[in-house]
Structure 1
Amino acid sequence: MIRPEDLLHPTPAGLYCPPGDFYVDPVRPVDRAVITHGHSDHARAGHGAVLATRQTLAIMAERYGDAFTAREQAVEYAERAAINGVELRLFPAGHVLGSAQVEVRWKGLTMVVSGDYKRRRDPTCPAFEPVPCHVFISEATFGLPVFRHPPAQDEIGRLVRSLAQFPDRAHLVGAYALGKAQRIIRTLREAGWDRPIYVHGAMERLNALYEREGVDLGPILPTRDLPKGALGGEVVVAPPSAVQDRWSRRFADPVVAFASGWMGVRARARQKGVELPLVISDHADWEELVTTFEELKPNEVWITHGREEGLLRWAELNGQKARALRLVGYDEEDEETLEVRPD
């Protein structure tokens, strides 16, 4: 069997496949790119050709315009494809709409690039599917034992209780525009919140895309042109930067909430002035990461863009061969995927 490094290895441009002459989630424009999902630290414009799920290609077109690449190739989950003789398949990653793990096969070796992933249920995208492989390349955003995320529905329950406790105050939920915002809205609906949810203008296009893909978000209204002191007792979902901006002062005595895995760190919540921290992440926490390694039992685990030290120690104690890739250019938590414009 060939060495894993002969099939995939890190370069300054990103994770490169020499026999296929393509990159996975490159951090700069390249001739051929395979993209795991639409967040802008993984999906950049300017590549010569892009292979991804249909939903990820639609997200990239929405964000960058139809000319984001010279050539698109849409691949369904589990559909076989090939680039220069290297076999590829995409499998659900459970991160956001269209997110995928990339299975790369060549000369008897199978490697899987996780992209960003989570194992929790998400009503807005297909669930993560474990893919048997010789080498599993895993993110490690929350790769320390201290990160153990509570169920998302419990955190949304805290939001609903706060709305009942403070019926005269607007509740502003900071949530990233791609994935997190739609998950918050859909989980609120499942919790029984059937009133209109108000959204910042920067979220409207991606909300519409999710609706076109069959994700029912219920009644959604814009926040523009509302009088000062409006929306007492209502939910407003906005990019985190807008919640921290003067824009938020137009609403009735706002309760500032923020949905992120980092809200489990109290110092971060205090630093951002968050009154209602919601520990909701679209990344795997410690238990999800180690459970995935135990389930797959690969020959090797490669750990990237996150806190690899804890997982390397876990691997050493549990007889799992592992190494850190230390790829650069990826954010620890999903970044703003749309420029926040005046609303």
Structure 2
Amino acid sequence: MKVTPLGLYCEPGGFFIDPSRPVDRAVVSHGHADHARPGHKAVLATPDTLAIMRARFGEDRAGDVQEPLAYGESVTRNGVRITLLPAGHVLGSAQVALEWKGSRIVVSGDYKRRRDPTCAGFEPMECDVFVTEATFALPVFRHPPDAHEIRRLLDSVALFPERAHVVGAYALGKTQRIIALLREAGWDRPVYLHGAVEKLCTLYEELGVPLGDLRPVPKGLKRGHPPILPGEIVIAPPSAEATPWARRLAEPVTCAASGWMTVRQRARLRGVELPLIVSDHADWDELLQTMEDVRAPEVWVTHGRDDALVHALGLRGIRGRALHLVGRGDEEDDGAPEAPPTAEEAAGVAPGPAN
């Protein structure tokens, strides 16, 4: 495996994994924009990831040749055996296991270890080299249970029935997960959607993930119309909460669902009234648990707080290597990566329960 300006390249197999620009042959771990790019000549991915790429990029830009590979199935390219395993990040997300001449490398993409009702859970595989993210690789990041954060949202809705609650969430993965968690918590009323998140919710349902009663936020209201949707839950891209779009809602409570809401300073700067710590990435304890589970003597770190994770790995007798791949990060809706916290931000992390 070789690190190039385009990303990870499997030399004997002749393909890239999650390349940052169009290439002849790509294996794509999942549909977020910092991993899936349009314009490749050939793309190998799970069927759900290919469907997400077609929905986001168009039929003609999701790969001239699209090769679906189900979880647990394998194909061989130039002697390299490729197997996709669930990563637990979003629908269709996969770890890429590569076997060649008796050695195994697992490229995990992005992953989480929590149960998610909208996607298959992470499956660890023992390997010689494990390639990991480090988005939340600081000991201060210990995410609370998802059910706790959803209960906080529902308690706020009950406390302020005259206000709409607008939850900022990424369009792919986080929006659908929040909806599914709300359903599990007993919310059987409609969930209202900003137009930018509707398409992928429809796709999730077409791919077999039930989300219940979903409705668009009403459009075309005349000037002077009373504020709408008091007591309701609205899901929108994180950037939408600060736009004129939100002004027609009834005194909106600005919420945000992200692991970054652990950092008080980020919540304050974004004007978030109700931060919800719901992450689609592994926290500190889960990262370390994963390293124990895969039993790899060598770990490569693609992005995030690689310094902290590499140090922790060294203390456990594991060789760590920071790859510094370009363009990786916690995806915003425009695809721009979000930087890991500074030391000053980390000092302002809100306390949360350990896992």
Name the TM-score class by shorter chain. Answer: over 0.9
Matched, 1:123 2:121: no
Q: Distance in 1 between matches of 2:168 and 2:239?
A: 8
Between the aligned partners of 1:130 and 1:286, the Cα distance in structure 2 is 17
Structure 2 CA distance for partners of 1:181 and 1:307, relative to 1, 3 Å: same
Partner of 2:242: 244
Give the alignment's Cα RMSD to 1 decimal: 1.2
**Bigger mean CA deviation after superposition, 173-182 or 316-325:** 316-325
Q: Which amino acid aligns with 1:181?
A: T
Equivalent of residue 17 in structure 1, options 10, 24, 37: 10
Kindly indicate whether the alpha-carbon contact (under 8 Å) linking 1:42 and 1:330 is maintained by their aligned counterparts in 2: yes
Moved more, 256-265 or 303-312: 303-312
Which blocks of at least 5 consecutive residues in structure 2 are unaligned? 336-355
Matches of 1:334 and 1:94, distance apart in 2 = 16
- 1:177–1:337 Cα contact (<8 Å) kept: no
Partner SS, residue 94 of structure 1: coil
- Is the aligned partner of 1:202 residue 2:196? yes
CA distance in 2: counterparts of 1:243 and 1:84, whole angstroms? 49
The structural deviation recorded for 1:84 is: 2.0
Match of 1:299 among 288, 297, 300: 297
Query: TM-score, normalised to structure 1's length?
Result: 0.95
Structure 1, unpaired ranges of 5+: 1-7, 339-343
Question: What corresponds to 1:173 in structure 2?
Answer: 167
For 1:316 and 1:132, the matched residues in 2 are separated by: 19
Q: Which amino acid aligns with 1:312?
A: V
Query: How far apart in 1 are the matches of 2:37 and 2:218?
Result: 30
Amino acid of the structure 2 residue aligned with 1:143: A
C-alpha distance in structure 1 between counterparts of 2:12 and 2:38, whole Å? 24
Structure 2: which amino acid aligns with 1:194? D
Normalised TM-score (structure 2): 0.92
Q: What is the 5 A alignment of 1:186-335?
A: 186-225=180-219, 227-331=225-329, 333-335=330-332
How far did residue 296 of structure 1 move?
Answer: 1.5
Task: Kindly state the Cα deviation for residue 78 of structure 1 after the two structures are TM-superposed.
Answer: 0.7
Partners of 1:93 and 1:80 lie apart in 2 by 16
Determine if the alignment matches structure 1 residue 81 to structure 2 residue 79: no
Aligned partners of 1:39 and 1:337 also within 8 Å: no
Q: Among the aligned pairs, what percent are the same residue?
A: 59
Q: Secondary structure at the match of 1:145?
A: coil
The one-letter code matched in structure 2 to 1:55 is: D
SS of the equivalent of 2:41 reads strand
Give the total of aligned pairs: 331
Q: 1:183 aligns with which of 153, 174, 177?
A: 177
- Per-residue deviation at 1:116? 0.2
Residue 145 (structure 1) aligns with: 139
Distance between the aligned counterparts of 2:46 and 2:31, measured in 1?
A: 10
